[in-house]
Amino acid sequence: MDALFHSLATQGLAAETVAVLLTGMGSDGAGGLASLRKQGAYTIAQDEASSAIFGMPKAAIERGAVTQVLPLEHITEVVCRLFVR
């Protein structure tokens, strides 16, 4: 995940990006998500209650890399709303 997110941030695409980090073990994605957010991306992490393993979202939240924390069932709705402004 980090490689993908860092790639988007370094290519100047962050302002046009909505990035979502879902359940998973470890901290993969947290650094890249932080880079994206710093460059202007809208970033979402899955909440603890709906995560099977809260490691990756938790790491991103703790780094300040997340614009919004949502339960899995609301992520699609929010992403669609962001694209239909």
The DSSP line for 15-80 is: GG-EEEE-S-SSSTTHHHHHHHHHTT-EEEEE-TTT-SS-HHHHHHHHTT--SEEE-HHHHHHHHH
pLDDT at residue 84 in the model:
85
| Alpha carbons 62 and 8: distance in angstroms, whole number | 21
Per-residue pLDDT of the chain (85 residues; tens, 9 = 90+): 899 999 999 999 999 999 999 999 999 999 999 999 999 999 999 999 999 999 999 999 999 999 999 999 999 999 999 988 6
Domains of the chain with bracketed CATH: 2-83 (3.40.50.180)
Q: What is the pLDDT of residue 42?
A: 98
- pLDDT value of residue 85: 66
